[in-house]
Amino acid sequence: MRRAIVVTTGLLVLPLFGGAAWGQNEERYRLERTENGYVRMDTQTGAMTLCQERSGELVCRTATDEPTANAAGEAGGSDIQALHERLTALEERVKALEGSNGTNLPLEQEFEQSLNLMERFFRRFVDIVRGLEAEQEQAPSEQGAAPGQRT
């Protein structure tokens, strides 16, 4: 029984080691010729390296290190400048918003002024309502009984 377990385990584990050995036989780097030199690609990570022949040597640098003349040419200096100005304006706006702690509460003086205006408004409104009520109370007594009304 024990021997059967060992053999079964061995059969299950063997493909794992075989796959690792098989993967080592594959080429990790692929070199392709271009107009300006070579491109070396890491088949495991996908990283690309640009290589050029200089003085009989192959000089390589990663694709991200290479300055892209086309990107600058396509975007144009004015577009880059406009983006830079926009970024600066956004940074200043964020700084201003962070400086105000996100609160737009009025100052104490502004608050008091607002309350005073509201108080004046309500006092005047109440005076108008009282005046209208007083007029309604006086109107029937001044006119007397309306025609057709019995007293």
Check whether 49 has a pLDDT greater than 80.
yes
Domains of the chain: which residue ranges?
Answer: 26-66, 76-102
- Confidence check: pLDDT of 15 > 60: no
d(CA 63, CA 61) in angstroms, rounded, equals 6
Of 25, 55, 58, 61, give the one whose Cα is nearest residue 43.
25
pLDDT at 6: 47
Amino acid at residue number 101: N
Question: Cα–Cα distance between 107 and 150 in angstroms, integer?
Answer: 63
Note the pLDDT tens digit of each residue in 16-43.
555 555 555 578 888 888 888 888 888 8
The per-residue pLDDT for range 123-132, each reduced to its tens digit, is 999 999 999 9
CB 40 within 8 A of CB 29: yes
DSSP 37: S
pLDDT tens, position by position, 85-121: 999 999 999 888 877 665 677 788 999 999 999 999 9
Average pLDDT over residues 144-148: 56
Helix (H) or strand (E) segment spanning residue 82? helix 77-99
